[in-house]
Amino acid sequence: MPELPEVETVRSGLAELLSQKPTIKRVKLTRKDIRFPIPKNFAKSLEGQTITGVKRRAKYLLIETPKVSLLSHLGMTGSWRVETPETLQAGPHDHCFIELSDGRQLIYRDPRRFGVLDLVEPGAEETHLRLKALGPEPLDQNAFTADYLYEFSRKRKTAIKVFIMDQRVVVGVGNIYASEALFRAKIRPQKLAGKITKHEAARLIEAIQQTLSEAIRAGGSSIRDYKNAGGEEGSFQQSHQVYERAGEPCRVCGTAIRSKVLGGRSTYWCPHCQKV
């Protein structure tokens, strides 16, 4: 599943591709639902509107117009791309075609159909069903702080890795980056969230922010089929210290990386470097 760095890379790519603020001429849907039903007024609400920008909230993209924003979640295998009439080759998993005033088409593809297409009225982001319960952005240094994480984690009996992947606690820290950040912070992923100290909370905040920032600069991690809006792969997977490296030597100490399932997700750590 694309995580925050991948979604942010898609956002910045779309923002650049749509920087001339084209108008939406026509919207064509090939189905009435993806993971959830698509609003019946989806096409009508967007047609005739000018795209004014592309934002991200957690793992959601918001393609903004003066009237309404297109809310999109990529799910497991979703992607957006921009095609010209000369390059357009529609495939069986292309579910939304947005024809632009400059002749290009903005296309949403989702083979496994775990994504979301929805609408959000201006100013309603904080109350929208899919956005209202989300925690702070991990790169917001005013909201996502050591004090916040420490206080929120008190008496929590869930593993710290599962805790930081909870979107109500902090958004966008998915499976890859939770494992990588905990390695940097030298904290065992199994440690109970309620047992972390203030010092450990500070280390973990710094590790999460460093890991996500570096991953964004690298264009995200292309583990399987993720590509950005320009069709290019990310490269941060080349810097993974523990993720999907079970049995391989730790790049710091040489100890074999271990793995287990926590919260239904594969988890990776070094038993020597992550003793705390």
59 labelled catalytic? yes
66-80: b or e for each residue (b if 16 or more CB lie within 10 Å)? Answer: eebbbbbbbbebbbb
2 labelled catalytic? yes
Catalytic residue among 25, 113, 195, 265: 265
**Contact between residue 1 and residue 225 where contact means Cβ atoms under 8 Å apart:** no
241-273: b or e for each residue (b if 16 or more CB lie within 10 Å)? Answer: bbbbbeeeebeeeeeebbbeebeeeebbbbeeb
C-alpha–C-alpha distance, residues 42 and 225, integer Å:
28
What amino acid is encoded at 3 in this protein? E
DSSP single-letter state for residue 238? G
Query: CA dist 15 to 54, 63, 131, 134, 208, Å?
Result: 5, 9, 21, 23, 25
C-alpha–C-alpha distance, residues 106 and 72, integer Å:
13
C-alpha–C-alpha distance, residues 201 and 187, integer Å:
10
Catalytic residue among 56, 57, 59, 188: 59
C-alpha–C-alpha distance, residues 175 and 3, integer Å:
8
Residue 244 tokens read as 């999907």
**Contact between residue 174 and residue 1 where contact means Cβ atoms under 8 Å apart:** yes
**In this structure, how many other beta carbons lie within 10 angstroms of the beta carbon of residue 193?**
23
112 labelled catalytic? no
Three-class DSSP labels, 115-163: CEEEEECCCCHHHCCCCCCCCCCCCCCCCCCHHHHHHHHCCCCCEHHHH
67 labelled catalytic? no
Active site residues: 2-3, 59, 265
